[in-house]
């Protein structure tokens, strides 16, 4: 309590100090302005950026704005609003005087002007990137009222979430590949996960995210291991110059199906506070978020809950320095997550007493990253990135005697456990541009991983060294962009593939048509668990295999981007494409031929995925929509084991999604509908113990996911979000797979969600200094 009090006092003192600085000094002038849409209506709540003075503000509900302390001289202003853009305006500011300006905000030429960084040496517009990149903007994240990244990914094509009820984790599948074959990056730096599940994606504070970039296909030349199916790069918010103190707070309450209690217990409770102070060239920021989920009972009875209660505390802190030539960032992400598995009452002991056994899983992640960009001159730039992750997961099991109320630690095998993982990462990239048509990008990378824990043999350490080179060549007046690349790897434990090549090309067929074609070899290094797993007891005999080699893939894709219509208030784009990936040496558990009672990991499977998609984007006045259609075919893995069976080679699943946004600009209100249909997922399964009985088709049923939300801005500072998630109330999917009869049966209904829920959130933004 005392700490809280001191914090409040210190915070208040800081607040007063800042607020007391003079707003207009004698050496500055002011600008007042109004922004209009082409039809003359006020562009309420548009952002106004004064690039020349590194300042920005937000217009009020009449579209009016002002800057009060600009140094004398000519200043340039730009206006921003989702789906719109403006030319820059200039105005002369004189000492002690106020200048007036009227801005025009026009419909945006298209999202291709969005900036992406994945795979690039520096931020670049989507239209110029040689990679086919999908982005999810902070605006979309905000409109959906999301409290975690999974909610946002849930309606993306090619992405499927899978939930493990026993572990309380959610994994992300991309193009039919599970999370261990998807690379997850935070600002281009890999996030550590303890096992095959990409838990990390749910342990990043969504309030700090600027956008999410998704690239399908391996980007192994630049990002190394794991990116077989693709890369999900989470980009955090970063400020730009000026002097400001920005405070954001957010409170959101959400039901979990029919369960809800205010602030604590049933439902989802999210609170966030973020403070950013900028005084060019410095920026310092700190934030904290609490994500509390009370779990959901579902089909469980008694104390047990199908969806485990989860409590997350996410802390971020950053310090940045930005000048013309040098940008330096330190960023800290801390995660403290508790998952609680509640047991039912059992009669235990002599004489029997009612007793409950509860398990608490605590994840602790400290992620430090440092990034530096140095621009020596127009030809040479250097980017340095480093990170260190300290990660642990602890299992605490307790028994409580309900007669005495006494809680003590369980003595069961494995009931008290702590696994620790450490990871260090360093990467240096040099960009050298000898002429306008050539950019040479070369880099060195080092990775260090170690682990200790009850189910890990010894204290293994892995060192990984890599060097890569990927020049970008522009030919025929920039009509062709070619980007070949190669990566060389040396690993201290397993035999890494000697060289990983790739080539990406972008052809500008016309001003309205771009074609992107890519080939890449990808690989996934065996994980620490696959190399050093160790679990022997009465009913398990499993161990890792240090002789594993990397999984590898050949990936091909092509995408055609077309602008079908473009006028003053209409723009229609379409992207059509296809992909083909073949994989070999997939690592899986199998009986050890040397000792048939032991399970171990071996390079046994081949696999492939292929598919095609069509995506359209429509911008029409204040309406934006995207509609996408995709078919994904995933290799029938039964054929890898039983090649003699007469079965289709690929199992196909169709997907359809749409995202609709309508802005009532004058009312500051936006409506958002996100919808996705996922078709039946087929799978073949042996009817007996061997191939003699043939195979049978089993299916996971199709489902519809839809979220609807309304967002309204009041004044300059207050935003209210309300909505419904999972409109179709999907909780689990039926699965016709046969029961396998062994200990860990994976058949039965597939859990998807805790069902339809309602949310209401308030966000308060305060710009203390401008």
Residue 40 binds other proteins (CB under 8 A): no
Shortest distance, position 726 Cβ to other proteins, whole Å: 23
Q: How is the chain split among helix, strand and coil, in percent rounded to 5? A: 10, 60, 30
Instruction: Candidates 10-18, 625-633, 700-708, 711-719: pick the segment binding other proteins (CB under 8 A).
Output: 10-18
When the beta carbons of 7 and 509 are compared against other proteins, the nearer one is 7
Pick from 38, 71, 73, 349 the residue near other proteins by CB under 8 A: 349
Pick from 11, 374, 664, 728 the residue near other proteins by CB under 8 A: 11
Task: Say if CB 56 and CB 239 are below 8 A apart.
Answer: no
When the beta carbons of 734 and 740 are compared against other proteins, the nearer one is 740
Question: Which residue, 26, 88, 13, 82, is CA-closest to 621?
Answer: 82
Pick from 22, 351, 405, 436 the residue near other proteins by CB under 8 A: 351
Residue 741 binds other proteins (CB under 8 A): yes
Pick from 74, 347, 403, 692 the residue near other proteins by CB under 8 A: 347
Pick from 88, 113, 348, 478 the residue near other proteins by CB under 8 A: 348
When the beta carbons of 212 and 356 are compared against other proteins, the nearer one is 356
Within residues 408-467, the interface with other proteins by CB under 8 A covers 408-413, 415
Binding-site size, other proteins (CB under 8 A): 62
Residue 189 to residue 368: CA distance in whole angstroms = 10
Residue 284 binds other proteins (CB under 8 A): yes
Give the x-and-dash track for 519-558 against other proteins (CB under 8 A): -------------------xx-------------------
Distance between alpha carbon 739 and the CA centroid of its chain, in Å? 35
Instruction: Candidates 102-110, 396-404, 638-646, 710-718: pick the segment binding other proteins (CB under 8 A).
Output: 396-404
Q: How far is CA 545 from CA 357, 549, 589, in A?
A: 34, 10, 10
Residue 515 binds other proteins (CB under 8 A): no
Instruction: Candidates 32-40, 312-320, 648-656, 749-757: pick the segment binding other proteins (CB under 8 A).
Output: 312-320
Pick from 101, 315, 517, 656 the residue near other proteins by CB under 8 A: 315
Shortest distance, position 292 Cβ to other proteins, whole Å: 12
Shortest distance, position 515 Cβ to other proteins, whole Å: 47
Structure tokens at 292: 């509390």
Pick from 61, 336, 457, 701 the residue near other proteins by CB under 8 A: 336
When the beta carbons of 343 and 422 are compared against other proteins, the nearer one is 343
Residue 117 to residue 385: CA distance in whole angstroms = 14
Shortest distance, position 277 Cβ to other proteins, whole Å: 6
Q: CB neighbours (10 Å) of residue 711?
A: 23
Q: What is the CA radius of gyration of the chain?
A: 27
Structure tokens at 547: 């002789």
Residue 314 to residue 333: CA distance in whole angstroms = 7
Pick from 327, 398, 452, 566 the residue near other proteins by CB under 8 A: 398
Residue 744 binds other proteins (CB under 8 A): yes
Q: How far is CA 463 from CA 420, 424, 445, in A?
A: 17, 10, 11
When the beta carbons of 510 and 739 are compared against other proteins, the nearer one is 739
Residue 510 binds other proteins (CB under 8 A): no
What is the DSSP track for 700-747? EPPEEEEEEEEEEEETTTEEEEEEEE-TT---EE-B-PPP--SSS---
Residue 648 binds other proteins (CB under 8 A): no
Q: CB neighbours (10 Å) of residue 92?
A: 12
Residue 424 to residue 677: CA distance in whole angstroms = 40
Pick from 78, 115, 288, 370 the residue near other proteins by CB under 8 A: 288
Structure tokens at 607: 């696999």
- CB-count burial class (<10 Å; 0-12, 13-18, 19+) for 536: exposed
* Cross-strand partners of 510: 513
Within residues 664-693, the interface with other proteins by CB under 8 A covers 689
Residue 617 to residue 448: CA distance in whole angstroms = 42
Residue 599 binds other proteins (CB under 8 A): yes
Q: How far is CA 584 from CA 487, 527, 637, in A?
A: 19, 16, 12
Task: Say if CB 722 and CB 761 are below 8 A apart.
Answer: yes
Instruction: Candidates 155-163, 194-202, 596-604, 752-760: pick the segment binding other proteins (CB under 8 A).
Output: 596-604
Task: Say if CB 178 and CB 171 are below 8 A apart.
Answer: yes
Task: Say if CB 134 and CB 116 are below 8 A apart.
Answer: no
In SS3 terms, 184-233 reads as EEECCEECCCCCCCCHHHHCCCHHHEEEEEEEECCCHHHHCCCCCCEEEE
Residue 447 to residue 461: CA distance in whole angstroms = 11
Pick from 72, 242, 281, 343 the residue near other proteins by CB under 8 A: 343
Task: Say if CB 499 and CB 520 are below 8 A apart.
Answer: no
When the beta carbons of 288 and 440 are compared against other proteins, the nearer one is 288
The 10 Å CB-count burial string (b at 16+, else e) for 34-45 is bbbbeeeebbbb
When the beta carbons of 372 and 396 are compared against other proteins, the nearer one is 396
Residue 747 binds other proteins (CB under 8 A): no
DSSP 325: S
Residue 341 binds other proteins (CB under 8 A): yes
Shortest distance, position 254 Cβ to other proteins, whole Å: 22
Shortest distance, position 143 Cβ to other proteins, whole Å: 28
Residue 407 binds other proteins (CB under 8 A): yes
* Cross-strand partners of 495: 549
When the beta carbons of 304 and 718 are compared against other proteins, the nearer one is 304
Task: Say if CB 724 and CB 756 are below 8 A apart.
Answer: yes
Within residues 79-138, the interface with other proteins by CB under 8 A covers none
When the beta carbons of 11 and 664 are compared against other proteins, the nearer one is 11
The binding site for other proteins (CB under 8 A) comprises 3, 6-7, 10-11, 13-15, 17-18, 165-166, 245, 275, 277, 284, 286-288, 304, 313, 315, 317, 332, 334, 336, 341, 343, 346-352, 357, 396-399, 407-413, 415, 538-539, 591, 594-597, 599, 689, 741-745
């Amino acid at each position: 309590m005392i700490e809280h009090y001191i914090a409040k006092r210190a915070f208040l003192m800081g607040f007063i100090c800042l607020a007391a600085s003079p707003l207009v000094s004698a050496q500055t002038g002011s600008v007042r302005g109004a922004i209009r849409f082409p039809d003359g209506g006020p562009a309420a709540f548009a952002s106004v950026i004064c690039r020349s003075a590194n300042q920005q503000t937000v217009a009020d509900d009449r579209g009016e704005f002002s800057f009060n302390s600009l140094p004398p001289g000519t200043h340039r202003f730009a206006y921003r609003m989702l789906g719109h853009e403006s030319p820059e305006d200039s105005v002369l500011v004189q000492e002690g005087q106020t200048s007036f300006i009227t801005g025009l905000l026009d419909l945006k030429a298209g999202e291709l002007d969005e900036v992406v960084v994945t795979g690039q040496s520096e931020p670049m517009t989507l239209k110029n990137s040689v990679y086919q990149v999908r982005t999810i903007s902070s605006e979309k994240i905000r409109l959906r009222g999301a409290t975690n990244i999974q909610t946002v990914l849930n309606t993306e094509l090619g992405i499927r979430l899978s939930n493990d009820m026993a572990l309380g984790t959610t994994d992300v599948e991309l193009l039919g590949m599970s999370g261990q074959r998807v690379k997850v990056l935070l600002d281009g730096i890999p996030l550590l996960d303890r096992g095959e599940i990409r838990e990390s994606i749910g342990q990043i504070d969504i309030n700090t995210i600027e956008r999410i970039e998704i690239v399908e296909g391996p980007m192994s030349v630049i990002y190394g291991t794991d990116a077989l199916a693709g890369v999900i790069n989470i980009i955090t918010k970063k400020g730009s110059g000026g002097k400001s103190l920005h405070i954001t707070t957010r409170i959101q309450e959400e039901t979990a199906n029919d369960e809800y209690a205010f602030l604590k217990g049933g439902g989802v409770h999210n609170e966030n506070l973020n403070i950013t102070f900028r005084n060019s060239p410095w920026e310092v920021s700190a934030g904290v978020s609490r994500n509390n989920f009370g779990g959901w009972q579902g089909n469980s009875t008694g104390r047990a809950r199908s969806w485990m209660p989860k409590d997350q505390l996410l802390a971020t802190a950053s310090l940045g320095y930005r000048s013309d030539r040098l940008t330096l960032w330190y960023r800290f992400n801390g995660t403290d997550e508790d998952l609680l598995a509640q047991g039912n009452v059992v009669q235990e002991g002599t004489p029997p007493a009612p007793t409950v056994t509860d398990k608490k899983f605590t994840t602790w992640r400290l992620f430090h990253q440092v990034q530096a960009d140095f621009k020596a001159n127009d030809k040479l730039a250097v980017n340095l990135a480093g990170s260190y992750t300290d990660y642990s997961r602890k299992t605490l099991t307790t028994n409580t005697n309900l007669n005495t109320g006494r809680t003590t630690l369980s003595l069961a095998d494995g009931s008290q456990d702590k696994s620790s993982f450490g990871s260090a990462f360093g990467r240096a990239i040099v960009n050298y541009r000898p002429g306008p048509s050539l950019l040479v990008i070369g880099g060195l990378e080092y990775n260090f991983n170690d682990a200790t824990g009850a189910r890990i043999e010894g204290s293994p350490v892995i060192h990984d060294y890599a060097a890569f080179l990927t020049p970008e060549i522009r030919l025929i007046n920039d009509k062709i962009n070619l980007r070949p690349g190669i990566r060389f790897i040396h690993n201290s434990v397993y035999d890494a593939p000697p060289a990983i090549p790739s080539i990406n090309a972008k052809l500008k067929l016309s001003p309205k048509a771009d074609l992107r074609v890519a080939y890449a070899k990808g690989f996934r290094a065996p994980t620490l668990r696959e190399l050093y797993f160790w679990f022997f007891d009465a009913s398990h005999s499993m161990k890792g295999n240090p002789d594993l080699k990397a999984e590898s893939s050949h990936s091909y894709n092509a995408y055609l981007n077309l602008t079908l219509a473009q006028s003053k208030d209409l723009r229609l784009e379409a992207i059509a494409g296809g992909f083909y990936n073949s994989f070999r040496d997939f690592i899986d558990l199998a009986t050890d031929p040397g000792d048939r009672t032991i399970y171990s990991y071996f390079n046994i499977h081949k696999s492939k995925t292929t598919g095609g998609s069509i995506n359209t984007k429509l911008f029409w006045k204040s309406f934006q929509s995207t509609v996408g259609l995709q078919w994904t075919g995933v290799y029938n893995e039964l054929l890898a084991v039983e090649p003699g069976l007469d079965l289709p080679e690929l199992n196909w699943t169709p997907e359809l999604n749409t995202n609709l946004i309508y802005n009532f600009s004058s009312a500051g209100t936006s409506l958002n509908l996100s919808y996705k249909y996922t078709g039946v997922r087929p799978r073949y399964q042996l009817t007996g113990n061997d191939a003699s009985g043939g195979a049978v088709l089993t299916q996971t049923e199709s489902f519809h996911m839809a979220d609807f939300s309304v967002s309204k801005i009041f004044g300059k500072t207050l935003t209210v979000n309300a909505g419904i998630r999972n409109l179709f109330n999907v909780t689990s999917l039926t699965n016709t797979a046969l029961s396998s009869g062994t200990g860990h049966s994976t058949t039965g209904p597939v859990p998807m969600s805790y069902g339809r829920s309602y949310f209401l959130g308030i966000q308060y933004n305060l710009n203390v200094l401008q």
